[in-house]
Amino acid sequence: MSATAVITPESPSSSSVVSTYLTGRNRTVLLATLGIAIISAARLIADADRLTSSTTVGVGLRLAVPIALAGIGGLYAERSGTVNIGLEGMMTLGTVMAGWAGWHWGPWAAIVAGIIGGIAGGMLMSMATTTFGVNHIIAGFAINIIGPGVARFLANVWFTTEAAKAAGGSITSSPRISSSLPRYSLPWFSSGADVLGDIEKKGWFIISDLAGIIRGLTVDVRLDTILALALILLSAYVIWHTPFGLRLRSAGEKPGAAESLGVSVPLMRHVGMAISGAFAGLGGAVLVFAGANQYQENQVAGRGFLGLAALVFGNWMPAGVLAGAGVFGYSQGLAIGLDPGVTVRGLILAAAMAITLVGFWALWRRKYIAATAEWTIAILAFVTYALVEEINDQFVYMTPYVVTLVVVTIFAQRLRPPAAEGIPYFKGEQL
């Protein structure tokens, strides 16, 4: 007589079930819904209507586009194995080239010239890193130093002539571009009848906030912004769904294996850097249109570094880069306009509410130390909101960079950069 053992499978814990469902698209939808609900609640409590107004979102979109272009440029470079710290310098070269060409031949020439200027910076860095094996960080910082120097030299040559001075040029700025790119609005919803604008003015919880966000993304959008967003979406397809994208990524992950399959690793890295420079230069050209329709010295103002931060925030993924650029552009947009102190107070309240929820999530996962730390930060934020009636102007302007630091710190544990990025590779090596 034999006994039969029956093994009863353990029922999954509630935390594992939740983790199973909170993956991929479900998690994205949930986080987006919670984010809008928190910001909407903060808007109502703090009476900070600009938190989700179409004006703030529209300004944030325009500010986010150059950052996103720099981030996507960095994505091409780093997926191919080159750490591109030189995005700032490449964007600077794009601005001066766009200002010169736009003054002579109009806005489309400005875009083309900006791309060419960025490619020149990208290929210079690529030659140093890929051909000669120079440390990527050192080469990138060199480009960031060379870019503004070359821009100053070219501005002195191009914009201080008698003709340029007569048109308003100087060593620090180009003459204005005579015409600008057209702007478009979504018919009926954002222009004409303006249904979204009417809903936004109602002040309803979540509904009016959604209307304001959608209206800000669809009203008075300049053509270069539409072009940039289309190129970013195209990049997501190219990098992940084409043979070229597979070769590019293999050069940054396993260059030795890629070479054994016939992929030229140096060629892929050169191409990656050329595309990276092109996107950074395009971002510089967009900055020319976003300002006074002219090149101005120090116009980039750290956006290349913010693009690099968006790349890290986005975990080297196109959608993540776009999300990171949106966060940074939105935080910069909050500091522009009437009474930014009130808006930043509302943002502090929203952050306190969000961190409180994150603390409960950490407690659910039995990470008690993390939960305690997050609740401590949330309490400090609540106290700051309650006690501080007026935010100092300097803190208002510092907000975008504080957001950058906090976001990159929070997501640092989930980052997975390309395995071979920053490592010089020469033919025949087995990396």
| Inside any domain, residue 266 | yes
Mean pLDDT for the stretch of residues 323-333: 86
Choice among 317-326, 342-351, 389-398 with the minimum mean pLDDT: 389-398
Distance in angstroms (rounded) separating the CA atoms of residues 244 and 237: 11
Distance in angstroms (rounded) separating the CA atoms of residues 111 and 209: 34
pLDDT at 189: 63
Q: What predicted TM-score, i.e. pTM, was given to this entire model?
A: 0.90
Please report the DSSP string for 100-120 in residue order.
Answer: HHHHHH-HHHHHHHHHHHHHH
Please report the DSSP string for 263-288 in residue order.
Answer: --HHHHHHHHHHHHHHHHHHHHHHHH
Choice among 218-222, 330-334, 400-404, 419-423 with the minimum mean pLDDT: 400-404
53-74: pLDDT as tens digits? 998 899 999 999 999 999 999 9
Mean pLDDT for the stretch of residues 226-251: 95
Residues 296 and 60: beta-carbon distance below 8 Å: no
Mean pLDDT for the stretch of residues 308-324: 89
Q: What percentage of the chain exceeds 70 in pLDDT?
A: 87
* pLDDT > 60? residue 171: yes
Residues 6+ apart with CB under 8 A from 242: none
* pLDDT > 70? residue 16: no
pLDDT at 362: 86
Residue numbers of the domain that contains 236: 49-185+220-336
| Inside any domain, residue 141 | yes
pLDDT at 1: 47
Distance in angstroms (rounded) separating the CA atoms of residues 325 and 160: 35
pLDDT at 388: 84
Distance in angstroms (rounded) separating the CA atoms of residues 325 and 308: 10
How many distinct structural domains can be found in the chain? 1
| Inside any domain, residue 416 | no
pLDDT at 430: 61
Residues 76 and 248: beta-carbon distance below 8 Å: yes
Query: Helical H runs in 291-339?
Result: 303-313, 318-334
Instruction: Supply the angle between the helices 54-79 and 195-202 in degrees, to the nearest 10.
Output: 110
- What letter represents residue 72's amino acid? I
* pLDDT > 60? residue 170: yes
| Inside any domain, residue 18 | no
Name the band, by pLDDT with cuts 50, 70 and 90, for residue 341. Answer: confident
| Inside any domain, residue 381 | no
* pLDDT > 80? residue 393: no
* pLDDT > 80? residue 24: no
pLDDT at 39: 92
Residues 270 and 126: beta-carbon distance below 8 Å: yes
Out of 3-12, 134-143, 317-326, 349-358, give the one with best mean pLDDT.
134-143
| Inside any domain, residue 231 | yes
We report the CATH number of the domain holding residue 318 as 1.10.3470.10
| Inside any domain, residue 112 | yes
Out of 11-20, 123-132, 172-181, give the one with best mean pLDDT.
123-132
**What integer best gives the mean pLDDT of the chain?**
87
Query: Helical H runs in 159-264?
Result: 162-166, 195-202, 207-218, 223-241, 243-253, 255-260
Distance in angstroms (rounded) separating the CA atoms of residues 223 and 107: 11
Residues 101 and 265: beta-carbon distance below 8 Å: no
| Inside any domain, residue 152 | yes
